[in-house]
Structure 1
Amino acid sequence: MTTPWMPGDDGAAAKRHAPATLRNRDAIAAVLTDWLPPQGTVLEVASGSGEHVVHFAAAFPHLDWLPSDPDPAGLASIAAWVDEAGRANVAPPLALDAAANDWSLDHADAVLCINMVHISPWAATVGLFAGAARLLARGAPLILYGPYVEADVPTADSNAAFDASLRARDPAWGLRDVADIKRVAADAGFAFSERYVMPANNLMLLFQRT
């Protein structure tokens, strides 16, 4: 049995369930079809419960998937989902803090990060781009998914309420402005390539290593 969970929650169960994954995984996979490379290793930063990575490993069997998370409870959940899926193209989860200077690996062909940017301190986003820059070759993708704020787009009431709830839970959390993301990306050596509007007021953002 799995328990509904979000990053930061405590709980005894090793295998955790984030309800949003069932709602968004197919929509995300549809965009990834066009954005992921034809072969190689995809590093997922902040894999959370681990449900996304096992779904994508089945959807993209030609790619090798490397999940990661900084939270020991998250790593245990990822390992439980990966073990249950039994897919040869998913590696054991890597303990990885996006804000750290050392990611304990030196190469990836793509980096994917789902729903981390707003549920982490800003340093994690800065570190995400810096770390990905160390791993990716020129032209390789860094892909983000989640809710964001845009100066020229009205913020949905649900996103505004979500932002308030996140900041009440941790003042270092909250929805980020896409313009700020683009600035961090440019400083780290990434070009903004594409924005894709997703269901439930989310976005997918594609950056490519320059």
Structure 2
Amino acid sequence: MAPEKPFSQACENNKQPILERIRHIFTSPGTILEIGTGTGQHAVHFASSLSHVVWQPSDRPGATGFSLGWIEDAALPNVLPPLELDVASESWPINCIDGAFSANTAHIMTWEEVKAMFTGLAKHLDKGMPFCLYGPFSYGGIHTSDSNRQFDQHLRSQAPHMGIREMDDLLELAERAGFRLENDHQMPANNRLLVLLKL
């Protein structure tokens, strides 16, 4: 029996706007690590249009099966089987990567996991390679919309470690890990796409 194909309306809504940005970032052949693949909708959509890259999905231990329905149904030659990746682990189960992408993870992870994500990527990306981080962020302690403020309250009511991240805190963390902000793109639905380059 084929795996089920879980569906995220948010992924469906944002996949094309994200693709229109990352197609100008992931321009060279290579392997792109996706952290927090989720349903697999992004992986399939991006890889089908970016045939020059190999897309490496990953998710936290125990969650990789969530994406199998989309990945196996698409059967794209440039999408690898999803890896179990605990970002807080000292050793990541990857070899060479040429870029990274993650969507809607920073506000779900603990802050220590966000730190670990940047630290781990810094170890695996060479100078000049990009990390694209998509999601909602606040600026100077102010949310960019009332819907983001409500979403932040909803997240914090679910678990105290969750919440929309403050851009100043995130950029300080990124710089300490060895990244600099190249671009901060405004995206639909009050989200952003941060393009960070390894120093």
Displacement of 1:106: 2.8
Pair 1:78-2:67 in alignment: yes
Displacement of 1:123: 1.4
Say which of 62, 78, 81 aligns to 2:52.
Answer: 62
Pair 1:103-2:92 in alignment: yes
Which residue does the alignment assign to 2:155? 166
Which residue does the alignment assign to 1:52? 42
Aligned 8 A contact 1:37 1:109 in 2:
no
**Two-structure CA RMSD over aligned residues (Å):** 1.4
Displacement of 1:152: 7.9
Scaled by the length of structure 2, the TM-score of the pair is 0.95
Change (3 A) 1:153 1:194: farther
List gaps (5 residues or longer) in structure 2.
none
Displacement of 1:22: 0.6
Aligned 8 A contact 2:183 2:194 in 1:
yes
What amino acid maps onto 2:11 in structure 1?
T
Q: Distance in 2 between matches of 1:61 and 1:122?
A: 34
Which residue does the alignment assign to 1:15? 5
Displacement of 1:14: 4.3
Pair 1:198-2:187 in alignment: yes
What amino acid maps onto 1:187 in structure 2?
R
Determine what percentage of the aligned residue pairs are the same residue: 35
What amino acid maps onto 2:113 in structure 1?
A
Q: Distance in 2 between matches of 1:100 and 1:166?
A: 25
Aligned 8 A contact 1:110 1:140 in 2:
yes
Moved over 6 A (4+): none
Q: Distance in 1 between matches of 2:7 and 2:112?
A: 26
What amino acid maps onto 1:86 in structure 2?
A
Q: Per-residue CA shift, 1:68-106, capped at 9, x if unaligned?
A: 00142x311212211100100000000002222211113
Q: Distance in 2 between matches of 1:16 and 1:53?
A: 13
- 3-state DSSP class of the match of 1:143? strand
What amino acid maps onto 1:83 in structure 2?
E
- 3-state DSSP class of the match of 2:132? strand
Q: Distance in 2 between matches of 1:71 and 1:51?
A: 19
Aligned 8 A contact 2:141 2:166 in 1:
no
Which residue does the alignment assign to 2:169? 180
Which residue does the alignment assign to 1:139? 128
Aligned 8 A contact 2:107 2:162 in 1:
yes
- 3-state DSSP class of the match of 1:34? coil
